Copies of this chain bind each other. A is one copy, B any other.
């Protein structure tokens, strides 16, 4: 499949590489070109602009940091939206707002293109191992056309609904559940620590009994050590997702007090200089507030 791929951060680079491994033809674009150049050794060709990446693609994948980046790449100067051939599919795999996802649905429809929201769960190491979970929504035919690409980067694809923006809601809800888990674990570890309970033993009990999910293991280990490394997902990006969630919740009139609590943690984390930390560092605030 001829794929245009835009956005080569930690996640995007790993995904692009797996697409190349699966013998897809990739034309890649990244704002800072070095990351694109690096992929030429795996067979990618380098585009000079978003439009250039899109113009001959059957499938355009975007994996960008936020709404602004997606808007710039699609609708900015030499943007991809007008260049993408009629009948081609744009799969937006970034975590973007529900509003933007709706707008993209409309914009591609008007141009005779197809839009699929195909969000992913998983940290960079899972991306490298092609073990991501893909959560997609959109019309059936375009989703089916994306399948080979999704299979190349993930371990499983879930289809939510025909309306693309619902995949974005699911992604935001999933990230929220992780932050809620971080908050719960942070508070629990602070309590355990203050009672002199060995943190590694505590973690082993939790993950060995009811909380065996990968999220508890991955993040629990960081929390037990009170060291939030490696930085798989930067704290300001996690905060952005929390804001997108709260905005979606406002639109739908859903009070989410735990999401508000997490919001306050992100703000406090930034107030304490944690802008370069992994987003899981919000869990560490529970130690700080307990005087540890």
A→B interface (CB under 8 Å): 98, 121-122, 133, 135, 156, 158, 160-161, 163, 165-166, 169-170, 173-174, 176-178, 180-181, 183-185, 187-188, 190-192, 194-198, 201-202, 204-206, 208-216, 245, 248-250, 252-261, 263-265, 267-268, 270-273, 286, 289-291
Shortest CB–CB separation between residue A168 and chain B, in angstroms?
A: 9
Q: Which residue of B lies closest to A133 (CB)?
A: B209
Could you list 30 examples of A-B contacts with CB < 8 Å?
A158-B209, A160-B197, A160-B201, A161-B196, A161-B201, A166-B196, A169-B192, A170-B202, A174-B209, A176-B187, A176-B188, A177-B184, A177-B188, A184-B184, A184-B258, A187-B256, A187-B258, A190-B256, A191-B249, A194-B252, A253-B290, A255-B264, A255-B290, A256-B264, A256-B286, A257-B257, A257-B261, A260-B260, A260-B263, A268-B289
The residue in chain B whose Cβ has the minimal distance to the Cβ of A132 is B209
Give chain B residues whose Cβ lies under 8 Å from the Cβ of A156.
Answer: 208-209
**Residues of B contacting A122 in the complex (Cβ-Cβ under 8 angstroms):** 210
* Bound-state Cα–Cα, A124 to B177, Å: 26
> Would you call B158 and A205 a contact (CB within 8 A)?
yes
**A-B residue pairs, 6 tightest by C-beta:** A180-B184, A271-B291, A213-B213, A260-B260, A194-B252, A133-B209
Which residues of the partner chain B approach A245 to less than 8 Å between Cβ atoms?
A: 191
Structural contact, A180 and B183, CB atoms closer than 8 A:
yes
Min C-beta distance of A202 to chain B, whole Å: 6
Q: A158-B209, A161-B198, A255-B289 are in contact. List 8 more A-B contacts (CB 8 A).
A: A180-B180, A184-B184, A190-B256, A212-B213, A252-B290, A253-B290, A254-B289, A257-B260
Chain B residues whose CB sits within 8 angstroms of the CB of A249 once the complex forms: 191, 267
A254 with B205, Cβ < 8 A, contacts A214-B212, A267-B249 known: no
Query: Is there an interface contact between B261 and A260, defined as CB atoms closer than 8 Å?
Result: yes
| B210 A178 Cβ-Cβ under 8 A | yes
* Contact A173:B188 (CB < 8 A) given known A133-B209, A180-B183, A264-B255: yes
Kindly report which residue of chain B lies nearest to residue A184, judged by CB atoms: B180
> Is the beta-carbon distance between A210 and B133 smaller than 8 angstroms?
yes
Residues of chain B contacted by A195 (CB below 8 angstroms): 98, 165-166, 169, 248, 252
| Alpha-carbon distance A272/B253, docked complex (angstroms) | 9
Shortest Cβ distance from residue A110 to the other chain B in the assembled complex, whole angstroms: 23
